[in-house]
Amino acid sequence: MSLLSIKALDIRHGLLRAVRDVSFQVDQGETVALIGANGAGKTTLLRAIAGAHRATHGQIHLDGLDITRMPTYERVAAGIALVPEGRRLFAAMTVEENLEIACASGNGPSIASWKRFRCSRRDARRFAVRFQAASSRRLRSDAR
């Protein structure tokens, strides 16, 4: 069973079909990148997974549980969070420090580690190192 499974998902903005028949799965420990042109539906898809936008068709499963119609606050409690890009809210903080804040809030740092992340300082560091290796980025954000 996959940790996250998206099946035949359609998402609309009014009459515009922003996401069409998207299906994929993410297994435990897997790192996935979602790439595409501006306006391709990447953010809309992520917002639908997080519960900020309603899917018009299809299913979203988290660890075998159908969360397609689950309210956003329940998805947050299950460990799903959407962090907007480019806002530089915590630009001066390292990935590790950001993860420690997530642990202090009682929620795990990402979908990929939902309910399996113990949220200790050591685990936050281990996750940050894995993130750095996977993304080839520095641990400290470029605060330009």
Question: Could you tell me the CATH number of the domain that includes residue 51?
Answer: 3.40.50.300
- Residue 24 region by backbone torsions, left for phi larger than 0, else alpha for psi between -120 and 50, else beta: beta
Q: Residue 111 and residue 26: Cα distance in Å, rounded?
A: 10
The tokens for 75 are: 């998805």
Q: What is the pLDDT of residues 27-40, one digit of tens each?
A: 988 888 888 888 89
Average of pLDDT values for 5-26? 94
Same domain (yes/no): 129, 69? no
If asked whether residues 15 and 40 sit together in one domain, one would say yes
Question: Domain count of the chain?
Answer: 2
The phi, psi pair for 108, rounded to 5°, reads -65, 165
Mean pLDDT on 117-138: 59
Provide the Cα torsion 7, 75, 118, 27; round to 10°. 0
Q: Phi/psi of residue 127, each to 5°? A: -65, -40
What confidence score (pLDDT) does residue 97 get? Answer: 76
| pLDDT tens-digit map of 82-124 | 876 666 666 787 777 777 766 665 544 444 443 444 556 666 6
**Host domain of residue 70:** 4-78
pTM: 0.63
